[in-house]
Amino acid sequence: MITGDRLAASTAAGSRARGNTVDLEGIVHRYGGLKAVDDVSLNIEAGEIAALLGPSGCGKTTLLRVIAGFVRQSAGRVLVDGRSIDDLPANRRNVGIVFQNYALFPHMTVAENVAYGLAARGIGRAARAPLVDRFLDVVQLKALKDRLPKQISGGQQQRVALARALAVEPSVLLLDEPFSALDKGLRLDMQIEIKRLQRQFGLTAILVTHDQEEAMSVADRIAVMHKGRVEQYDTPSAVYDRPATPFVNSFIGTTNLLPGRVIGREGGSALIELDAGAVLAVPVEASIAHGMRVQVSARPEHLELHATAAPDRLPVQVGLVVPLGPTAVLDLRMRDGAGIKLSDRRTDSLPAVGAALHCGFRADARPSVFPLATN
Amino acid sequence: MTIAIAGGALDAAGTGGRRWLAEWQLALPLGLAFTGFFLAPLLILAVVSAFDDEQITRIGFAQWIKFLGDPFYWKVIFDTLKLGLLTVGATVLVGYPLALVYLGARPALQRILLFIVVLPLLTSVVVRTFAWIVILGREGVINGVVMALGLAPAPLRLLQTEFGLVLALTQIEMPLMLLPLLSVMSRIDPNLMSASAALGALRWRTLFRVILPLSVPGLMGGCLLVFASSTTAFISQSVIGGARLVYLPLLIWQQSLVVYNWPLASVAALTLLISVTACIAAISLIGRKIARHVDG
């Protein structure tokens, strides 16, 4: 994984070139009778950014606090570089953490904030100063070193929080919703910045977020969490293209869920008759059996419109055309009145509202099929 | 709507002076009461202090000269301020750890602690003062325990001592220390403590570098209230301290209602006011210095 480029970058910064692996083994955490984290096992490769992604209350922040040592898990182990850190208190775990609200010490200047962890490690005043300067240089904030946190902007505060966390040369960098307080424009800049620094220092990082776009753009692998469990742990594109569960499918990106029935089964694929009036042949998991009620997940960008009818196309009427910069989203009405969304590159020849057309899957589309809970 | 706003703006521009007056009318009742019942008596006090004789006939500064020239009165001033500082010190030493315990406690325990702390404010001054007599007396609770355990050959002398008085005042004034302290400390972001720990700091460093500097405003507020309240706590001072310990409030009472030397009483009253105010100014100045020093 260590490319020459990254090695050079991190050597230039005078830091270690390797990260540490982080392994979670069967982590359980209970608050009272409630299982906030329910048997979570994850292996995070050295130098990788893993995102813990899920809605609020899914246990992702609790998991982060377990790794940081702020709460002790009810069961399971946390291993850094193969060694258990469960018996170490938070102040000896050597993790760097950036909080959602940055948690800068409001009574200390930017430089004092960055120096705090160094002082806590017993590094003398004289030795601290050049280190503080170096890490403020890394986040390009040297000019603001004597300001108080309240005198600098949100983005600058976050860079201070990053410099403070990096200055102690942590074995793992934990990021707790670090972008959510930033403006949208600044958010992308900071995502790139964090990724750059993480590469430069060869750090293993864990990002907690509820924003799927953020997880997709920053993380090397995403653990999608729901109700304390990890539903899927995979690369961003795999999580998007091959969601393991209906929850992952609906949480990541937007999708149209089309109900139907399996009317034929052969090898790895099934013939599915959609209630809306089309028959599709799609590859499915072994658990999808003949006669089963299923739902087919169709991403908006996996659909296309045709002028002519075909057995695998749904008859639709164009309800609304919403141009969104480079793409356009079309709201289509199916025969039964239900709506589906389709997104396409915006061209001058968009269909007119009210036009009767036929909607099918693109040739390269890979719709996911999930059993429909019958209750 | 637009018209109304425009009209309002015109009105404000045209009659700004009157509007300002109208707003101040709301503060008028308080202002009048303050002038009539506080500023005027204070002025009278100052005038009375500038008479030589007890009958208030000859203008002069004889009483000021007598008061400030007598080592006895200087000792009274000194003792009063010392009592205030000792009480402040004791309430900080007991109250600050208590505030830390409170912040770390579960909500149910927090409610119980707060009730215990506020209790002195809810009891009559007479009841709590006599309760302390029961506790500190020769046959009191403390001496009962000390004698039963054989810790001292004779009952300890606690009543009518500075130690006993400071002990009682510490309990009585504790709410004035804790309430401002708790309101400031409970607003400290708990993530700061987590951040400090994650950066490798031991609990002591977190306490002295993060929690303590950020609680200085509450601590200062508490110190000022406790100082002002304990130096002027006439009933506690005279009942628990007794006649042997003379503080300025007792002196003022003696001079005005026993000796009927109103000019001297006025001098003592103004001295109390000025010295307590000066000490409060000094405490807050030092507090700000400490805060800046700990910050830097």
Convert chain A into a string of H (helix), E (strand) and C (coil): CCCHHHHHHHHHCCCCCCCCCEEEEEEEEEECCEEEEEEEEEEECCCCEEEEECCCCCCHHHHHHHHHCCCCCCEEEEEECCEECCCCCHHHCCEEEECCCCCCCCCCCHHHHHHHHHHHCCCCHHHHHHHHHHHHHHCCCHHHCCCCHHHCCHHHHHHHHHHHHHHCCCCEEEEECCCCCCCHHHHHHHHHHHHHHHHHCCCEEEEEECCHHHHHHHCCEEEEEECCEEEEEECHHHHHHCCCCHHHHHHCCCCEEEEEEEEEEECCEEEEEECCCEEEEEECCCCCCCCCEEEEEECHHHEEEECCCCCCCEEEEEEEEEEECCEEEEEEEECCCCEEEEEEECCCCCCCCCCEEEEEECCCCCCEEEECCCC
User: Which of A68, A103, A120 lies closest to B201 in CB terms?
Assistant: A120
Q: What is the mean pLDDT of chain A?
A: 88
Q: Is the CB of A117 less than 8 angstroms away from the CB of B200?
A: yes
Average pLDDT over residues A254-271: 89
**Residue B6 pLDDT:** 39
> Are residues B180 and B91 part of one domain?
yes
**Chain A interface residues facing chain B, Cβ-Cβ under 8 Å?**
68-70, 89-97, 99, 101, 103, 105-108, 112, 116-117, 119-121, 164-165, 168, 174
Q: Is the CB of B195 less than 8 angstroms away from the CB of A101?
A: no
**Residue A266 pLDDT:** 86
> Are residues B280 and B231 part of one domain?
yes
**Residue B252 pLDDT:** 93
Residue B120 pLDDT more than 90? no
User: Which of B191, B200, B213 lies closest to A107 in CB terms?
Assistant: B213
Q: Is the CB of B195 less than 8 angstroms away from the CB of A97?
A: yes
User: Which of B201, B210, B294 lies closest to A91 in CB terms?
Assistant: B201
> Are residues B74 and B21 part of one domain?
no
CATH code for position B112: 1.10.3720.10
The ipTM value here is: 0.82
> Are residues B199 and B272 part of one domain?
yes
Kindly report, residue by residue over A279-288, the tens digit of the pLDDT.
988 888 888 8
> Are residues B207 and B117 part of one domain?
yes
**Residue A326 pLDDT:** 85
**Residue A126 pLDDT:** 92
User: Which of A91, A108, A112 lies closest to B197 in CB terms?
Assistant: A91
**Residue B291 pLDDT:** 67
In chain A, % of residues over pLDDT 90:
57
Structural domains of chain B, count: 2
In chain A, % of residues over pLDDT 70:
95
- Say if B107 is an interface residue toward chain A (CB within 8 Å): no
In chain B, % of residues over pLDDT 70:
92
> Are residues B197 and B129 part of one domain?
yes
B148 within domain boundaries: yes
Preferred mutation among A105, A112, A121, A128 to probe B, highest tally of B CBs within 10 A:
A105
Residues of A within 8 A of B296 (CB-CB) are: 112
Q: Is the CB of B194 less than 8 angstroms away from the CB of A107?
A: no
- Give me the residues of B, 214-243, that contact A with CB < 8 A: 214
Kindly report, residue by residue over B211-262, the tens digit of the pLDDT.
999 999 899 999 999 999 999 999 889 888 888 889 999 999 999 999 999 9
Average pLDDT over residues A80-92: 93
Domain that holds residue B22: 1-49
B12 within domain boundaries: yes
Residues of A within 8 A of B213 (CB-CB) are: 107
Residue B10 pLDDT more than 80? no
pTM: 0.81
Kindly report, residue by residue over B41-52, the tens digit of the pLDDT.
999 999 999 999
**Residue A12 pLDDT:** 40
How close A107 comes to chain B (CA, Å)?
6
**Residue A160 pLDDT:** 95
> Are residues B214 and B77 part of one domain?
yes
User: Which of B205, B213, B214 lies closest to A120 in CB terms?
Assistant: B205
Under the banding of pLDDT at 50, 70 and 90, the label for residue B163 is very high
Residue B11 pLDDT more than 50? no
> Are residues B205 and B73 part of one domain?
yes
Q: Is the CB of A117 less than 8 angstroms away from the CB of B201?
A: yes
Residues of B within 8 A of A89 (CB-CB) are: 197
> Are residues B100 and B17 part of one domain?
no
B56 within domain boundaries: no
Residue of B nearest to A65 (CA): B194
B54 within domain boundaries: no
